[in-house]
Amino acid sequence: MFTSIRCQLGLVSKSKSSIKNKRFIHQTSFLLQKQLKNSSTSSLFGDITEIDTEIKKKSNDFSDSLQSMNEKFDINKITLKNDEKLQEFIGHKPTSAVDKLLTPLKKQLYEANVASNGFFKNNQIITLNGEQYKLKLTREEIDVLEPSLYVKSYRIKSSVKKATIFLRFIRNMNVKQAITQGQFHSKKIGREVSQLLSDSLKSAPELNLNPNELYISQIWSGSDGSWVKRVDPKGRGRSGVIHHPYIHIRAILKTSITQKRLAWEKSQKEVERKPRFQLPNEKLRFKLDGHYKW
């Protein structure tokens, strides 16, 4: 049966060694070089496939346009407002949260309130252009108006449980004091947090914020992306999987204006609180009986 198949293919051989040593397909390097020279596309499959010349032209045009843009514009001077291509892609000009939530009159009243008191006092009467107004803002509107700095980190090799222990410790602390605590703290996450906060102080002058007055209003951590897995070998031929956790840290830094407002609101609550009595300050209108009845 096997000999008949080999006869049809023209590969009849009695010894196995001759079959092993035989090379069915063979092409020298000279023939390959000759084929590459003759083909127009300089590839082995040049006769089958052809490269589209239009794709080459488009790629060259795109690279030329990028070079012309670099010569025309300075990348360091491009911002969100003067980038025309970005504005066309967005479709509308981005508006700030202050413009969305507050009217121009409310912003004027807020600025007058801060100028007179040093910080914002809610439900206070303000005189503006010879008229009196009573401004009352919600918590969301106050957070938008007060200056703040949002900070975020990259992937950090740690867990949420370990990071939360240190983050609770530095919450409501001055930023420079928190950086010092992170450098000398026993937790490894402290150095990562101190590096994050020190980088945020560099961007504070760009937003007209005083780095000495910044404090940590909110700071939290969360799981970041996919975790790295590793095999955990165990006894008796078994194995498990170790997950290496990665987290990110987010923080909101605020100024002393917010601290003064919170202290004033706390004192106002104490003033408005009613006095507490251990017993009601009223006359007894019933007869007291003894504890034992027999």
The verdict on 66 and 119 lying in the same domain is no
Chosen domain end from 219, 239, 254:
254
What is the full per-residue pLDDT of the chain (294 aa) written as tens digits?
444 444 444 444 444 445 445 544 555 555 556 555 555 555 555 555 555 555 555 555 655 655 555 555 666 777 777 777 777 887 776 677 788 888 899 989 999 999 999 999 999 999 988 899 998 999 989 998 999 999 999 999 999 999 999 999 999 999 999 999 999 999 999 999 999 999 999 989 998 999 999 999 999 999 998 899 999 999 999 999 999 999 999 999 999 999 999 999 999 999 998 877 776 677 767 666 666 665
CATH number of the domain that residue 228 is part of? 3.90.470.10
The verdict on 158 and 228 lying in the same domain is yes
Chosen domain end from 112, 144, 176:
144
The verdict on 131 and 207 lying in the same domain is no
* Total number of domains constituting the chain: 3
Is residue 163 included in any domain, yes or no?
A: yes
The verdict on 68 and 114 lying in the same domain is no
Chosen domain end from 106, 128, 144:
144
Which has the closest alpha carbon to 126: 118, 114, 138?
A: 114
Which has the closest alpha carbon to 217: 141, 137, 148?
A: 148
Beta bridge partners, 174, equal 215
Please tell me the distance from the alpha carbon of residue 114 to that of residue 65, in angstroms, as a whole number.
50
Which has the closest alpha carbon to 181: 169, 172, 168, 196?
A: 169
Question: Which residue carries 């222990």 as its tokens?
Answer: 165
Is residue 7 included in any domain, yes or no?
A: no
Is residue 223 included in any domain, yes or no?
A: yes
Output the six-digit token pair for 66. 């990028």
Q: Give residue 108's domain range.
A: 97-144
Whether 210 contacts 204, CB under 8 Å: yes
The verdict on 174 and 242 lying in the same domain is yes
Whether 223 contacts 246, CB under 8 Å: yes
The verdict on 122 and 190 lying in the same domain is no
What global pTM score does this model have? 0.62
Is residue 132 included in any domain, yes or no?
A: yes
